[in-house]
A and B are shown apart, each in its own frame.
Chain A
């Protein structure tokens, strides 16, 4: 049974309303949960901020990440090179952060592509209904039916070796989940009394979509987009690791891991361990932020529906 904290009247109506909504939504969270969520959010935000800042600043401020030095091949981590060096003698600290920058950029741009495409398809599908809805949902099913990585490989193969190809291959395979979320939101909204009132006063489909439906689904669409970011980072990494992704000279986490394979066989574990740790830390912090956000958005929506 969920334990509800007893709020006195000065404790702020806002919070008690929120935990009440959570109880109704069936999420078992009391006060301890709220404090833990705040802690989790704080930790995730600071880790992500640190990583993004490092990825932006370190490669810019230090020597070029691509500097090859055959005098310093596979040096283990030490004061000179905190993450060691790779099989070409490049400093892994700088190179990993440069790689993180590229991977994050590709992930964010391709997530934006997915989010825009998914929102457009979902909103049109949900608000038109009828045969247009059925057709679009079958397209969504088809995209979902093919493994994302496989479809991504096909798209990359068509335009090999460009950053755009990687962005598109991730963007064009991940919009379907966003489209589903947006569509179901629109279906729940389009027969609300305030939409009826707008229709009765002469508003057209486009007006209703623009003024009532889209503003209402922005939080949900944005949330499902943020949940895609870690996924997109992994996809970029996987494509580059397979040698299909970003051009080899461009440092990305996937390229570094791919290069690091031979090093690992020679005992240089750091070539894989540190970039992989950066990747895991980044994705965990993004999904941590998204999880806290979801807990906030979803009960709000439910309490709004209960009106």
Chain B
């Protein structure tokens, strides 16, 4: 399981956004996290995704504490936790096609032509060949978020953090992406932390397993 233990974290010295937070994400299940804006949900997401070093406390991955954050964490551990952000547009490099975006995690790990896996990912997230060859500014927010989800699951992470993943999307795309994440949970045993301020959505997504801040 993915666990934040006694995590204290923030941005400006002396003003912690997270104060001794404990959160557990079990494998093969969806855990919801609800709370108003500014309560530290995204900071927790960044800490759990190993993108931000907590001031104190630890992140434990399958029982072992992870030291450091970002580049100082070994790539195998970083790829074990995937993350999807709320806003898809700043989350993709404007100079890359969607195919390059989706395949980046694989190419960055030295797989030269991961096109079969990219095909699987596209099918999973509902993208087609024609869309994959477009630039980010040529697709909608919903299509871009599908690509972001495909990118996040490309290295087969054991845990997936969806930080307001559906916040910018219409109802049908939201339903489609929630269904995709559900398939991953059931078929690959991925542990998911679903973060949102939309409680009804979380209740539908995570059942009763919702933490309220």
Q: List A residues at the B interface (Cβ < 8 Å).
A: 192-194, 196-205, 207, 211-212, 215-216, 304, 307
Contacts and interface: CB of A to CB of B under 8 A. Distances in A.
Contact of A307 (B51, B90, B109): B90
Given A197-B148, A202-B109, A212 B71 contact: no
Contacts of B82: 200-201
Nearest to A128: B71
The 9 closest A-B CB pairs, nearest first, are A201-B105, A203-B108, A202-B75, A202-B79, A193-B91, A193-B90, A194-B93, A207-B108, A202-B78
Contacts of A194: 90-93
B212 interface: no
B89 A196 contact: no
B152 interface: yes
Contacts of B4: none
Given A197-B91, A202-B79, A203-B75, 8 more contacts: A197-B83, A197-B85, A197-B151, A200-B49, A201-B108, A201-B154, A202-B155, A216-B95
Contacts of B164: none
B87 A304 contact: no
A204 B107 CA distance: 11
Interface in B71-122: 71, 75-76, 78-79, 81-83, 85, 87, 89-95, 104-105, 108-109
A193 B164 CA distance: 14
Interface string B151-172: 1101100000000000000000
Contacts of B75: 202-204
Nearest to A305: B90
Contact of B50 (A200, A207, A216): A200
Chain A interface helix/strand/loop/mixed: helix
A203 B104 contact: yes
Contacts of A192: 90
Nearest to A205: B71
A130 to B, nearest CB: 11
A277 B95 CA distance: 43
A8 to B, nearest CB: 23
Interface of B: 46, 49-51, 70-71, 75-76, 78-79, 81-83, 85, 87, 89-95, 104-105, 108-109, 148, 151-152, 154-155
B11 to A, nearest CB: 11
A198 B108 CA distance: 8
B78 A201 contact: yes
Contacts of B92: 194, 197
Contacts of A201: 78-79, 82, 104-105, 108, 151-152, 154-155
Nearest to B86: A193
A200 B94 CA distance: 18
Nearest to B108: A203
A200 B78 contact: yes
Contact of A199 (B71, B85, B89): B71
Which of A192, A194, A201, A203: most chain B Cβ within 10 A?
A201
A206 to B, nearest CB: 10
Contacts of A198: 104-105, 108
Given A193-B85, A194-B91, A199 B78 contact: yes
A200 B93 contact: no
A205 B73 CA distance: 12
A290 B64 CA distance: 55
A307 to B, nearest CB: 6
A307 B94 CA distance: 11
A200 to B, nearest CB: 5
A119 to B, nearest CB: 17
26 contacts: A192-B90, A193-B87, A193-B91, A196-B46, A196-B49, A196-B51, A196-B83, A196-B85, A197-B92, A197-B152, A198-B105, A200-B78, A200-B152, A201-B79, A201-B82, A201-B104, A201-B108, A202-B76, A202-B78, A202-B105, A202-B108, A203-B105, A207-B108, A212-B93, A216-B93, A307-B90
A196 B84 CA distance: 10
Contacts of A193: 85, 87, 90-91
Contacts of B105: 198, 201-203
Instruction: Kindly name the residue among A211, A212, A215 whose own CB sees the greatest number of chain B CB atoms within 10 A.
Output: A211
A277 to B, nearest CB: 43
Contacts of B78: 199-202
A307 B108 CA distance: 26
B94 A304 contact: yes
A205 B104 CA distance: 14
